[in-house]
Structures are given as structure tokens and as C-alpha cells.
Amino acid sequence: MERHPLSPRLDHCPEGLPRAAYLDEGWFAREMATVFSRGWVMAGRLADFAPGTMRRVTVGPAQVVVCRMADGAVSAFQNTCRHRGSELCRAEVEPLGKLVTCPYHAWAYAAKDGRLVSTAHALPTADFDKAAHGLHPVAAQVWAGFLFLSAAANPPPLRGDVPLSVLDNWPMAGLVTGHRHEAELACNWKTFWENYSECLHCPGIHPELCDMVPIYARGIMGPTEAADWTPDTPARPNLKPGAESWTLTGAPCAPAFPGLSDAERQAGYTFVTLWPPAYVVAHVDYVRSVRLVPLSATRTRLIAEWHFAPETLARPGFDPAEVAAFAKIVLAQDAEASEMNQRGMASPAFTRARLMPEEYEIHRFHQWLMNQMEDRP
């Protein structure tokens, strides 16, 4: 049966990335210098950067210091002093006043804009241009309550796989992080990301998820991936009968957000995918975010967070860990599958993957990645 022209399924079986893309440290270094240095990287929820603090954040190959002033304003800089390169923020979080002071020789910079204020005990000669020795800036912007950072001099617009306006009916800016899960995975960041980008593995890896989302049991992520799909195919709810949210029971943990449309409530979840790797899943009662921090060619840190309305977190007896339990089962299964995949790709017999029509998102990701890694002026 031929695919419908509007179906996202591929009409061929393309090759994937070469083996080196998942194992070679040189390839990894090139990704850090291009993919993770040119775009926007999710740093977390802005509300989790407390006013009056500075926090150290990894952005590709760089350590960045994010300054949250007492008035709530945000600035970000490369975590390196312009004197002799010492790190400025030594701990994950440190107190912040109006100045960022180097702990080595006490050079001081304005936290608001990074300009050099003082060289402390050093007495520069006339050839030293104080105005030219401010901190290296890092661009910062906020979308839907999430803070994004970019080391690029002229970063591109922030984009998702769908228009970012799809979450406009959720009260995103006011949500509060209630639970956090962090894990270090023995796999390349792309190995996990490719696993996220297809559902052919779902029937064999995710029994609980396939029960919650019946279409996943068919090895596809949505109805348009079905071989017999046409625009006339009737739409069906994503979740199983009786389920309203991704929880262990399918019951919502709180009333549905009041601004949601009937279609958004019926869908049960709305995904927004952002490259480099992060995604947001908006449910009717809470929102989940997942981001990857590449550590090496074969190690990746996964950070997942669950965000709730303040009144939900304040409810007596409410336990956000219970809400997170379902997705943590799925994430653990994905982690195990990705590590298994990574071990297999280490075999000299593996040269590159051969993608199937259902793996169109992986193919699109590979094309984007190679475009980002091209040499540019």
C-alpha cells in the first residue's frame, strides 16, 4: 500500500549516521563546537534560578554563569575571568550581589552587563583598555517559563517542531517545578534522542506506555504514521478509555487547566520538541520537560522535571513523585534500551543504521544535525 502524500512516513529506507557519530570523541567535539554553540540550549525553569543568586550551567562545551539579580533580571556570561581565565562561579549555586567577583584575583564585573568594574590589587598600565575586558556575554531568552541560553554571537530564532504557540492555552509562566529526576546514561546523546523520535520500539520496550496510549502498541507515534492513513481517517483520543493524563492510574492529579480547548483535553498530551535536545510534554494537569546534556561521545546526563500549578503543589497530601512515577518507568526503559543500542553500535561490524519509513523524525534530525555541523564563516 502506498503512503498518502500528506503522511510523514518516508517513501524510502535511508541510511543513518556513520558509526563514528556515536563513538568518536572528535565527532563529539565538532558537535559541541557547532550544534551546541550555535543554537539555543534549555537551561531549566526561570523560576528555579532564585533572585540574588548565580548558577553554573553547561551549554555545549562551555560552562556558563547565569546571574539572576535581586529584581529578577537575568544575564549570562562565559564562566571565565578576563584576567587569567579562572572560573567565576565555583559551586552550582552561589549568592549574588551587584558584582561578579573572581575568587582568584578579585577582578569584579557588573552582574547586569558584565563590564569590568575593578582589577582589585592589579594596577594596569595605560595600554590596558578596561572597557574591552568585560565578561564574554551569553544570550538568554525565556519561552513558556523556560530559560534558554546561546553562546552564538547572533543566535537564530527559537523554534520547535511545531509552532511554539501550541502551548498558549497552558499557564506555562506560572508553573512551579515539583519533582526532578536526573540520571547519567552510558550512551551518546543522539542514541537516546533517536529512541525518543520513534515508536517502533514501543511494543517491546514499553508495556505500560502502550497500555496508556494504545496507538503506541502499533509501533507508531500517531495516526498519520499508519500505512493506511488518509486525511479522512477519523480522529481518536490518544489515551485509553477512562484515562485523562500520564499517571499510574490515568487519573489527573489536579483539575484540567481552565484555558484548554476540548481538543487539547481530549488529546491528553501535547509535545513540543526543540533541537538541541529538549522536549516539553503538556498534559491537562501538569507539564513535563526533558533535556539532555552531552558529557562525552558515550555519556549523557538526562534531566527530567515535572511542573505544576502552585495550588496543586500546595494541596495537603499531594506528592509530585507519585505523578512522576509513570513517566519515570518509561524513561528508565528508554535509558536501558539506549544503553543496549550503544553497546551494540560499538561492534566493528556496525557501520551505520538503515532507517525504516516510520523513522522519519530520525531522518529529519540527521539532516538537521549535518546542516548544523557544516563549516560556516
**What's at 175, amino acid-wise?**
L
Scanning the structure block, which residue is given the C-alpha cell 547586569?
Answer: 112
Q: Are 245 and 253 in contact (CB under 8 A)?
A: yes
pLDDT, average across residues 96-105: 98
Distance CA 55, CA 53 (A): 7
C-alpha cell of 247? 499517571
- Grouping H, G, I as helix, E, B as strand and the rest as coil, residue 371 is helix
At 233 the pLDDT is: 85
Per-residue pLDDT reduced to its tens digit, 169-226:
999 999 999 999 999 999 999 999 999 999 999 999 999 999 999 999 999 998 888 8
Fold of the 40-155 domain:
Rieske Iron-sulfur Protein (2.102.10)
The domain spans of the chain are 1-37+160-377, 40-155
Burial of 318 (0-12, 13-18, 19+ CB in 10 A): middle
Q: Which residues pair with 76 in a beta bridge?
A: 66
User: What pLDDT sits at residue 23?
Assistant: 98
- Decide if 77 contacts 65 (C-beta within 8 A): yes
What mean pLDDT, rounded, does the chain reach?
96
pLDDT one-digit tens code per residue, 302-331: 999 999 999 999 999 999 999 999 999 999
Rounded Cα distance, 245 and 240, in Å:
10
Predicted pLDDT at 1: 60
The set of cell numbers assigned to 339 is: 544503553
As a whole number of angstroms, the distance between CA 258 and CA 269 comes to 15
CA-angle at 191, arms to 185 and 194, nearest 5°: 130
> What are the tens digits of pLDDT across the range 8-67?
999 999 999 999 999 999 999 999 999 999 999 999 999 999 999 999 999 999 999 999
Note the pLDDT tens digit of each residue in 342-372. 999 999 999 999 999 999 999 999 999 999 9
Q: How confident is the model at residue 376 (pLDDT cuts 50, 70, 90)?
A: low
> Predicted confidence band at 139 (pLDDT cuts at 50, 70, 90)?
very high
Please determine, for residue 298, whether its predicted confidence score (pLDDT) is greater than 80: yes
Q: Say if residue 377's pLDDT is above 60.
A: no
The yes/no answer on whether domain 1-37+160-377 falls in CATH 3.90.380.10 is yes
CA distance 104 to 77: 17
Q: Which amino acid is at 50?
A: A
- pLDDT of 58-99, one tens digit each? 999 999 999 999 999 999 999 999 999 999 999 999 999 999
Cβ within 8 Å of residue 70, ≥6 positions away? 51, 52
